[in-house]
Structure 1
Amino acid sequence: MPATPSAAGRPRSRWVALAAIVLCMLTLGFDTTILNVALPTMATELGADTGRLQWIADSYLVVFAALMLPAGLLGDRFGRRRTLVTGLLVFLAGSLLGSLADDSATVVAARALMGAGAALVMPLAIAVLPVLFGPEERTRAVGALSAATGLGLPLGPLLGGFLLDHFWWGSVFLINVPFIGLAVTACLLLLPESTDPAAPTVSALTTALSVTGLGALVFGVIEGPRRGWSSAPVLAAFAAAFVLLALLVVRERRRERPMLDLALLGRPAFLWNTVAAALVMFTMTGLTFVLPSYLQTVQGHDAFGTGLRMIPMPLGMLVASRATTPLAARTGPRPVIAGGLAVMAVAALLGSRTTVDDGYGWTALWLSLVGVGFGGAVIPAMDGALGSLPRERAGVGSGLLMTLRQVASAIGLAALSSVIAGVYGARLDTSGLPSAAAGEAADSVGAAHAVAGALHDAALTRSADAAYVHGMDTALLVSAVAALAAAALVAAFLPSSRPARKERAGRTVVDETIDA
Structure 2
Amino acid sequence: MLTIGGAMEATRTTPDPRRWWALAALVASMLVVGFDGTILNVALPTMASQLGADISQQQWIADSYSVALAALMLPAGLLGDRFGRRRMLITGLALFLAGSLFGTLADTPASVIAARTAMGCGAALIMPLCMAVLPTAFEPEERSKAIGILTAASALGMPLGPIIGGWLLDHFWWGSVFLINVPMVGIGITACALLLRESRDPATPRIDTLSTALNCLGLGALIYGIIEAPRDGWTHPAILVALFAAVALLTALVLRERKATRPMLDLQLLRQRGFLWNSVAATLAIFVMMGLLFVLPAYLQAVLGYNSFATGVRLLPMMGGLLIASRVTAPLTNRFGPRPVVAAGLLVMAGAALLGSRTTVSDGYGNTALWLSLTGLGLGVAMIPAMDAALGALPKARAGSGSGLLMTLRQTGGAIGVALLGSLLAASFGSRLDTAGLPGAAAEYARKTVGAAHAIAARTGDQALAASANSAYVHGMDLVLMVCAGAAIVAALLVAVFLPDTRAPEAPVRDMAPEPVDARQ
Shared topology, TM-score over 0.5? yes
Structure 1 residues 109 and 419, CA, compared in 2 at 3 Å: closer, same or farther? farther
Structure 1 residues 430 and 86, CA, compared in 2 at 3 Å: closer, same or farther? same
Deviation at 1:277, TM superposition (A): 0.7
Structure 1 residues 42 and 419, CA, compared in 2 at 3 Å: closer, same or farther? farther
Deviation at 1:260, TM superposition (A): 0.7
The whole-number CA distance in structure 2 between the counterparts of 1:133 and 1:497 is 18
1:164–1:304 contact (8 Å) kept in structure 2? no
SS of aligned partner of 2:444: helix
Deviation at 1:136, TM superposition (A): 7.5
Deviation at 1:478, TM superposition (A): 1.6
2:366 to 358, 361, 364: 361
SS of aligned partner of 1:498: coil
Deviation at 1:309, TM superposition (A): 0.9
TM-score (norm 2): 0.85
Match of 1:286 in 2: 291
Q: After the TM superposition, which residues 31-50 of structure 1 pair with which residues of structure 2 at under 5 Å, given as runs?
A: 31-35=36-40
Deviation at 1:363, TM superposition (A): 0.7
The whole-number CA distance in structure 2 between the counterparts of 1:270 and 1:255 is 20
Which stretch shows the higher mean deviation, 37-46 or 352-361? 37-46
Which stretch shows the higher mean deviation, 435-444 or 367-376? 435-444
1:375 to 372, 377, 380: 380
Correspondence 1:231 to 2:236: yes
1:273–1:494 contact (8 Å) kept in structure 2? yes
Deviation at 1:283, TM superposition (A): 1.2
Match of 2:433 in 1: 428
Match of 2:274 in 1: 269
For structure 2, the residue ranges without an aligned partner over 5 or more in a row are 517-521
Correspondence 1:301 to 2:298: no
Structure 1 residues 370 and 37, CA, compared in 2 at 3 Å: closer, same or farther? farther
The whole-number CA distance in structure 2 between the counterparts of 1:48 and 1:484 is 42
Which stretch shows the higher mean deviation, 325-334 or 14-23? 14-23
2:67 to 62, 67, 76: 62
The whole-number CA distance in structure 1 between the counterparts of 2:128 and 2:61 is 23
Deviation at 1:273, TM superposition (A): 1.1
2:341–2:381 contact (8 Å) kept in structure 1? yes
Deviation at 1:144, TM superposition (A): 5.3
Q: After the TM superposition, which residues 185-334 of structure 1 pair with which residues of structure 2 at under 5 Å, given as runs?
A: 185-334=190-339
The whole-number CA distance in structure 2 between the counterparts of 1:377 and 1:354 is 25
Structure 1 residues 316 and 15, CA, compared in 2 at 3 Å: closer, same or farther? closer
SS of aligned partner of 1:294: helix
The whole-number CA distance in structure 2 between the counterparts of 1:383 and 1:237 is 34
SS of aligned partner of 2:387: helix
SS of aligned partner of 1:300: coil
Deviation at 1:253, TM superposition (A): 1.0
Match of 2:456 in 1: 451
1:216–1:238 contact (8 Å) kept in structure 2? yes
SS of aligned partner of 1:354: coil
Correspondence 1:93 to 2:119: no
Structure 1 residues 422 and 306, CA, compared in 2 at 3 Å: closer, same or farther? same
SS of aligned partner of 1:499: coil
1:416–1:475 contact (8 Å) kept in structure 2? yes
The whole-number CA distance in structure 1 between the counterparts of 2:197 and 2:398 is 23
Deviation at 1:476, TM superposition (A): 1.5
The whole-number CA distance in structure 2 between the counterparts of 1:97 and 1:119 is 18
Deviation at 1:101, TM superposition (A): 5.9
Task: Give deviations 1:371-420, integer Å, cap 9, x for gaps.
Answer: 11101101111122223334444443332222211111121122222222
Deviation at 1:122, TM superposition (A): 2.0
The whole-number CA distance in structure 1 between the counterparts of 2:185 and 2:397 is 33
2:321–2:376 contact (8 Å) kept in structure 1? yes
Which stretch shows the higher mean deviation, 403-412 or 104-113? 104-113
Match of 1:474 in 2: 479
Q: Match of 1:330, as an amino acid?
A: R
Correspondence 1:440 to 2:440: no
Match of 1:118 in 2: 123
2:32–2:185 contact (8 Å) kept in structure 1? yes
Deviation at 1:358, TM superposition (A): 1.2
2:356 to 334, 351, 372: 351
Q: Match of 2:282, as an amino acid?
A: A
Which stretch shows the higher mean deviation, 272-281 or 241-250? 241-250
SS of aligned partner of 1:430: coil
2:346–2:489 contact (8 Å) kept in structure 1? yes
Deviation at 1:129, TM superposition (A): 5.2
Task: Give deviations 1:344-381, integer Å, cap 9, x for gaps.
Answer: 11111221222222100111111111111101101111
The whole-number CA distance in structure 2 between the counterparts of 1:471 and 1:424 is 6
Deviation at 1:287, TM superposition (A): 2.0
Task: Give deviations 1:286-339, integer Å, cap 9, x for gaps.
Answer: 322221111112211122211111111121111112111111111111111111
Structure 1 residues 388 and 88, CA, compared in 2 at 3 Å: closer, same or farther? closer
Q: After the TM superposition, which residues 336-347 of structure 1 pair with which residues of structure 2 at under 5 Å, given as runs?
A: 336-347=341-352
2:88 to 83, 89, 114: 83
Deviation at 1:50, TM superposition (A): 9.6
The whole-number CA distance in structure 2 between the counterparts of 1:292 and 1:322 is 28
2:143–2:388 contact (8 Å) kept in structure 1? no
Deviation at 1:40, TM superposition (A): 7.7
Task: Give deviations 1:4-53, integer Å, cap 9, x for gaps.
Answer: 99xx9995655555543332233223334544555687799889999987
Q: Match of 2:222, as an amino acid?
A: L
Deviation at 1:178, TM superposition (A): 1.9
Match of 2:494 in 1: 489
Which stretch shows the higher mean deviation, 194-203 or 143-152? 143-152
TM-score (norm 1): 0.85
The whole-number CA distance in structure 2 between the counterparts of 1:266 and 1:310 is 38
Match of 2:519 in 1: none
Deviation at 1:258, TM superposition (A): 0.3
What RMSD over aligned residues (CA atoms) do the two structures have, in Å?
Answer: 3.6
SS of aligned partner of 1:210: helix
Task: Give deviations 1:250-292, integer Å, cap 9, x for gaps.
Answer: 1111111101111221222222111111100111123222211
Q: After the TM superposition, which residues 134-213 of structure 1 pair with which residues of structure 2 at under 5 Å, given as runs?
A: 142=147, 145-146=150-151, 148-149=153-154, 152-213=157-218
